[in-house]
Chain A
Amino acid sequence: ITPNSPLEQFAILPLIPMKIGNLYFSFTNPSLFMLLTLSLVLLLVHFVTKKGGGNSVPNAWQSLVELIYDFVPNLVNEQIGGLSGNVKQKFSPCISVTFTFSLFRNPQGMIPYSFTVTSHFLITLGLSFSLFIGITIVGFQKNGLHFLSFLLPAGVPLPLAPFLVLLELIPHCFRALSSGIRLFANMMAGHSSVKILSGSAWTMLCMNDLLYFIGDPGPLFIVLALTGLELGVAISQAHVSTISICIYLNDATNLHQSAYLFIIEQKRG
């Protein structure tokens, strides 16, 4: 029995190769699985809101969709303080799409024989990088060049300022990378470990030895537990990446100011 490499599950295979000059636009298996998940989500939302918006007393599926939909405006309200009501919700659709993207695509990889889209660095980096560029543009749009004052926290003595600005700039730019890496590393590590352990369980099964056969439930049980852990990690990583994007948005629009101060100002005024 030739053992397959546990990293083979991450191979990108072009299903419909399309090439224009030196650029490849092939339809690959990540594209296929992203399309599949997208159509499943759209079908779910469609069936829930059939007949003009569902029932006012929801059934189970409608409850689920409502809970997912409700999650984002609450998050936006909480995290991005200091703006008026309708300005806050301006970011809601983008964050909602990011959240739904990771919430449905992370667990989709848990389905056996399927491909985890978010376990590829390219995809998660593309998402986080474009969001980071968008957030920087929003910051400059809202605060002008004053946005750069975000790099210097309050109460810093002047001789230290140049070093601190440089020191703040590096983590700020690293945020783009870190969001992508966080999601990618979690997904890839989880899937690799599940594959490696199941590979060892399979090898133990296949060896015609009684001792190995008795010891086989050990890795089997660990794989079972890991599957549960993976599902939990998938959902929580979606949550964490959405919250971190809200925090970066808050930093960009409010520039280190505490949301608490804005609440006090609103109550006074």
Chain B
Amino acid sequence: MRLSSTNMQARKMLFAAILSICASSSKKISIYNEEMIVARCFIGFIIFSRKSLGNTFKVTLDGRIQAIQEESQQFPNPNEVVPPESNEQQRLLRISLQICGTVVESLPMARCAPKCEKTVQALLCRNLNVKSATLPNATSSRRIRLQDDLVTGFHFSVSERFVPGSTLKASIVELIREGLGVLKMVQVGE
């Protein structure tokens, strides 16, 4: 059945080719010189290569498509793997880090030496990182309370110390001490 259908197709194509040759030669479209042999050979080569190599090409391309499909199914959707609460936790930690950063940045530049600001910022960040490393074990409410304590403690200590007229060095040392004190408090409170 299949052989007859391909035979029918081949016969139809041959018929169409003969008809087109007759029509174009009568209308003087086709030029009868050696270029026609080149054209016929080209068409013949394409048909021949399609028959012999068409399958190989198709199989190679299909294999590539299959490999890509399997690869995309292997990797899980990154949004589904992370549980929602650790997402929340990461978000809160990030917010607290940002707040501390902005608090330190908003200090008037003229009042503190540049090293002071960097030391304070580095200390804050380091301690926050240490805290965030131990935080995953805490429950969410205690976590939020802890972070609130941290943020408000630093905020108040920093804003209180850097009022106009205060001496510089003492306030820096006090600031750092207060920061550590807040952290110890928080640690004890846990």
Contacts and interface: CB of A to CB of B under 8 A. Distances in A.
Interface of A: 4, 56-60, 63, 110-113, 194-195, 198-199, 201-203, 205, 220, 223-224, 227-228, 231
Nearest to A6: B34
Contact of A223 (B38, B48, B69): B38
Most buried by A among B39, B41, B64, B65: B41
Given A112-B42, A228-B45, A220 B37 contact: yes
Contact of B42 (A60, A110, A195): A110
Given A202-B33, A202-B34, A227-B41, A63 B72 contact: no
A224 B37 CA distance: 9
Contacts of B44: 224
Given A63-B61, A202-B34, A111 B69 contact: no
Given A56-B72, A57-B69, A199-B34, A220 B41 contact: yes
B182 to A, nearest CB: 43
B85 interface: no
B42 A202 contact: no
Interface residues of B, number: 20
B39 A57 contact: no
Contacts of B65: 57-59, 63
Chain A contact residues, majority secondary structure: helix
A220 B40 CA distance: 10
A198 B38 contact: yes
B35 interface: yes
A205 B65 CA distance: 48
Contacts of B37: 198, 201-202, 205, 220, 223
A113 B36 CA distance: 9
Contacts of A59: 65
A228 B38 contact: no
B49 interface: yes
B112 interface: no
B7 to A, nearest CB: 23
A57 B34 contact: no
B41 A223 contact: yes
B42 A227 contact: yes
Contacts of B61: 60, 63
23 contacts: A4-B34, A56-B68, A56-B72, A57-B69, A58-B65, A58-B68, A59-B65, A60-B58, A110-B42, A112-B35, A112-B42, A194-B38, A198-B41, A201-B34, A202-B33, A202-B34, A202-B36, A220-B37, A220-B41, A223-B41, A227-B38, A227-B45, A228-B49
